Structure 1
Amino acid sequence: MADLQDDLHPAAEAGRVDEPYPEEAVVVGPEVYEPVSDPDDAPLTRARAVLAAHPVADGYSGLPQALRRLPWYDLDLGESSVDADVPRLRRGQVGAVFWSLHLPEGHDGDRAVGATLEQLDLAKAVVAAHAEGLRPARTAGQIVDARNCGRVAVLFGPAGAAALGDSLSVLRSLHALGLRVLTLAGVSWAGEAGLTRFGEEVVREMNRLGLVADLSHASTPTIRRVLALSKAPVMFTRSAARDLRPHPANLPDELLAEVGEAKGLCLVPLTAEQAGPTVRDVADHLDHIRTLAGPECVGLSGTYDTRSAHPRELRDTSCYPSLIAELLRRGWEEADVALLTWGNVQRVLRGADFTAHAAQQRRPPSTATIAELDG
């Protein structure tokens, strides 16, 4: 974990966050999209062509935890013990992936802080050991840079709220070490009753830092309060439509509509438990959420390497073109597919960074404690 100390004072990034959103200079390989006239071959061919220009930004992967169980692995050559190695990420045309730092049940307090740091240390070491295929990233611009260099961008998070140890200083340290997303659930200040005063201060400090709030598995009062309070877009890293599949992490229609109004992002997990046993079931959820929340508010969450069952057609990360082909068969416009796979995640990350820049001009780091606010 000594390597983590090097990141406590990261180098300043090039560019200014107060400039207008730049057009992304994405270098596209030889598979630039051309319309295809053969109706039998069109969907999968078109899917691969669209993904060549707008690859998948996968909102949730359990790979770090899965690798802890292996005595040896090589993600560059291929690793059959996991769902996502570099060759399959490339076949699936994945351009970016969020690596979960969530902990097993029972970790809280100081134990949760230490265990999250260990998870983060492992994740950073894995990326460093596979530098030919993977590259760490924190911002939308760094994701584009990684893609232009032929690497898959890896973002760290979500981590569980317990990782803070009820300390805003720990929150700032985790952000300095590379954490990008925090799940607001499972703690006293973000529970079934909603956010406490300290919980609201956590959200304000996350906005100031540029950390994205993840509201999957959060209670409805917490979701509604964060949607109202946060100045930056929020994400649901693993939530489908509850009206299609009753699961506690899935969202009812009224909440999906509220997510759309707040310009949040609902990332649909490709798991049988939450979305259904076939690729058509997953596409049904994407259709449903796009209709209710809008095309700017829906994305993809592979949820691979989490010990969850996946539809046979989506068994690992190489299978994303099959899902995109199904959407094209249903009449999705390529512009909406581009938002689904790539553009919506970019929007959320850019929004978080712009909000952070503005907030840092208005307020210093918060020194509030849970004892002062909730005691």
Structure 2
Amino acid sequence: MADLQDDLHSGTEAGGLDDLPVPLAAEACAPEPCAPVSGPGDEPLSRALAVLAAHPVADGCNGLPGVLGNLSWYDLELGESAVDTDVPRLREGRVGALLWSLHLPESVDGDRAVGATLERLDLVKTVVRAHPEGLRLARDAGQIIDARHCGRVAVLPGPAGAAAIGDRLGILRSLHALGLCVLTLSGVSWAGEAGLTRFGEEVVREMNRLGVLADLSGACAQTVRRTFAVSKAPALCTRSAARALRPHPANLPDDLLAELGAAGGLCMVPLTAEQTGPTVRDVADHLDHVRAVAGPRSVGLSGTYDTGTAHPLELGDPSCYPRLVAELLHRGWDEADIALLTWGNLQRVLRAAAFTAKAAQLRREPSTATIGDLDG
């Protein structure tokens, strides 16, 4: 177990984006702490706060579980200086829901990945139970709404790496029963450079039956397109921006952005200097581009805080979301499109996944296929 612990405690820089290049050094674009989010005469910011009061942020990827595993003590409700994300900053940034990444260091694979993902899921539940005044576990759109009505931030477990299921559909079902909401389809033999194998397609069908969303950030183009063809539910890209603006391997080219929009999927643009650029205006440029190519119903936000990556100026932690929304309002985004961006689009995708699962369960029993049966 010692070697597994070494891998899991290898530092925040592993934080779930381990298949991506090393991020920019923090000093290259060290984010300034957010100034107070309200001030006299700041009309776009005042309007942003009003919009976010009605339509809070649903954040597509947060690496906090990977960081908390390295801390001996923390209090997220009081405020925690050792991390980017805590309840006071989530409230200040008007964050209503966030996906907590269960991604592991790249060196953790095979059965070790299964066990380590179970440990991460257990940690997520433990953290949420320890902070009942600020956080609440959720796994679908209805539970997110319930958490919001109770004044809590909804926490959805996932995405997890595909290695977490150990090439076994029974483990996928077990992880789903424990709360897993999203699985990233990359880094395994059945979802690699050649695209989805026959077993990979069966994994996607079983995910549809369960209501587990497919995350295609970092997946090859063949896997992305085959997932669109096989899946009856929309897919997510939990941390992808526009490759036309910044040639990062996890960013999507325009043809895939257009196909994602046509398939009803959702591209959640990360707030990282490496993928979107060093300023809030750069992030807004990517949001403009994704909205134009994929459509306003296919663009969302992904803070990617606590993943060890550098963040743009004025977007150093989750409290800064109103600054980004103010920039979009300044550019002419209307409230309806911002409501979709921050809250509505993820709700739509979650509802579609739940509807697909109910329909699939009426016509399909749990799959007993194995990788040896289909790919052997």
Q: CA RMSD in A?
A: 1.0
SS of residue matched to 2:326: helix
Find the counterpart in structure 2 of residue 311 from structure 1: 312
In the alignment, the residues of structure 2 paired with residue 84 and residue 265 of structure 1 have an alpha-carbon distance, to the nearest angstrom, of 23
Find the counterpart in structure 1 of residue 254 from structure 2: 253
Find the counterpart in structure 2 of residue 271 from structure 1: 272
Q: Which segments of 5 or more consecutive residues in structure 2 lack a partner in the other structure? A: 1-38
Find the counterpart in structure 2 of residue 92 from structure 1: 93
Matched letter for residue 134 of structure 1: L
In the alignment, the residues of structure 2 paired with residue 368 and residue 106 of structure 1 have an alpha-carbon distance, to the nearest angstrom, of 27
In the alignment, the residues of structure 2 paired with residue 334 and residue 319 of structure 1 have an alpha-carbon distance, to the nearest angstrom, of 18
Find the counterpart in structure 2 of residue 226 from structure 1: 227
In the alignment, the residues of structure 2 paired with residue 133 and residue 45 of structure 1 have an alpha-carbon distance, to the nearest angstrom, of 24
| Residue 81, structure 1, aligned to residue 79, structure 2 | no
SS of residue matched to 1:303: coil
Q: Which segments of 5 or more consecutive residues in structure 1 lack a partner in the other structure? A: 1-37
SS of residue matched to 1:273: helix
In the alignment, the residues of structure 1 paired with residue 109 and residue 319 of structure 2 have an alpha-carbon distance, to the nearest angstrom, of 35
Compare 148-157 and 101-110 and name the one that shifted more: 101-110
| Residue 349, structure 1, aligned to residue 370, structure 2 | no
Q: CA deviation at 1:40?
A: 4.5
SS of residue matched to 1:268: strand
What's the CA shift string for 1:328-362, capped at 9, x where partnerless? 00000100000000000000000000000000001
Q: Report the CA distance shift for 1:272/1:44 in structure 2 as closer, same or farther (over 3 A).
A: same
In the alignment, the residues of structure 1 paired with residue 268 and residue 158 of structure 2 have an alpha-carbon distance, to the nearest angstrom, of 14
SS of residue matched to 1:207: helix
Percent of paired sites with the same residue:
76
Find the counterpart in structure 2 of residue 49 from structure 1: 50
Matched letter for residue 63 of structure 2: G
Q: How do 1:210-225 residues align onto structure 2 when only pairs under 5 Å count?
A: 210-225=211-226
Find the counterpart in structure 2 of residue 297 from structure 1: 298
SS of residue matched to 1:225: helix
Find the counterpart in structure 2 of residue 101 from structure 1: 102
In the alignment, the residues of structure 1 paired with residue 326 and residue 308 of structure 2 have an alpha-carbon distance, to the nearest angstrom, of 26
In the alignment, the residues of structure 1 paired with residue 217 and residue 351 of structure 2 have an alpha-carbon distance, to the nearest angstrom, of 21
In the alignment, the residues of structure 2 paired with residue 340 and residue 39 of structure 1 have an alpha-carbon distance, to the nearest angstrom, of 27
Find the counterpart in structure 2 of residue 183 from structure 1: 184
Q: CA deviation at 1:304?
A: 0.1
Compare 349-358 and 40-49 and name the one that shifted more: 40-49
Matched letter for residue 229 of structure 1: V
In the alignment, the residues of structure 2 paired with residue 101 and residue 163 of structure 1 have an alpha-carbon distance, to the nearest angstrom, of 9
SS of residue matched to 2:314: helix
In the alignment, the residues of structure 2 paired with residue 372 and residue 106 of structure 1 have an alpha-carbon distance, to the nearest angstrom, of 27
SS of residue matched to 1:312: coil
Matched letter for residue 249 of structure 1: A
In the alignment, the residues of structure 1 paired with residue 257 and residue 134 of structure 2 have an alpha-carbon distance, to the nearest angstrom, of 36
SS of residue matched to 2:276: coil
In the alignment, the residues of structure 1 paired with residue 127 and residue 120 of structure 2 have an alpha-carbon distance, to the nearest angstrom, of 11
Find the counterpart in structure 2 of residue 111 from structure 1: 112
- The aligned length equals 338
Q: CA deviation at 1:108?
A: 1.3
Find the counterpart in structure 2 of residue 159 from structure 1: 160
Find the counterpart in structure 2 of residue 13 from structure 1: none
What's the CA shift string for 1:264-290, capped at 9, x where partnerless? 000000000000000000000000000
Find the counterpart in structure 2 of residue 200 from structure 1: 201
In the alignment, the residues of structure 2 paired with residue 359 and residue 217 of structure 1 have an alpha-carbon distance, to the nearest angstrom, of 27
What's the CA shift string for 1:13-45, capped at 9, x where partnerless? xxxxxxxxxxxxxxxxxxxxxxxxx99432000
What's the CA shift string for 1:203-254, capped at 9, x where partnerless? 0000000000000000100000001111001000000000101100000011
Matched letter for residue 317 of structure 1: P
In the alignment, the residues of structure 2 paired with residue 100 and residue 263 of structure 1 have an alpha-carbon distance, to the nearest angstrom, of 23
SS of residue matched to 1:216: coil
Matched letter for residue 116 of structure 1: T
Find the counterpart in structure 2 of residue 71 from structure 1: 72
Matched letter for residue 263 of structure 2: A
Q: How do 1:356-371 residues align onto structure 2 when only pairs under 5 Å count?
A: 356-371=357-372
Find the counterpart in structure 2 of residue 32 from structure 1: none
Matched letter for residue 48 of structure 1: L
In the alignment, the residues of structure 1 paired with residue 55 and residue 102 of structure 2 have an alpha-carbon distance, to the nearest angstrom, of 26
Find the counterpart in structure 1 of residue 145 from structure 2: 144
Which structure's relative contact order is higher, taking Cα pairs within 8 Å and 6+ residues apart? 2
Matched letter for residue 245 of structure 1: R
Find the counterpart in structure 1 of residue 236 from structure 2: 235
Q: CA deviation at 1:312?
A: 2.0
What's the CA shift string for 1:287-318, capped at 9, x where partnerless? 00000000000000000000000012000000
SS of residue matched to 1:354: helix
SS of residue matched to 1:313: coil
Compare 40-49 and 271-280 and name the one that shifted more: 40-49
In the alignment, the residues of structure 1 paired with residue 175 and residue 337 of structure 2 have an alpha-carbon distance, to the nearest angstrom, of 34
What's the CA shift string for 1:18-75, capped at 9, x where partnerless? xxxxxxxxxxxxxxxxxxxx99432000100000000000000000001111121000
In the alignment, the residues of structure 1 paired with residue 106 and residue 203 of structure 2 have an alpha-carbon distance, to the nearest angstrom, of 22
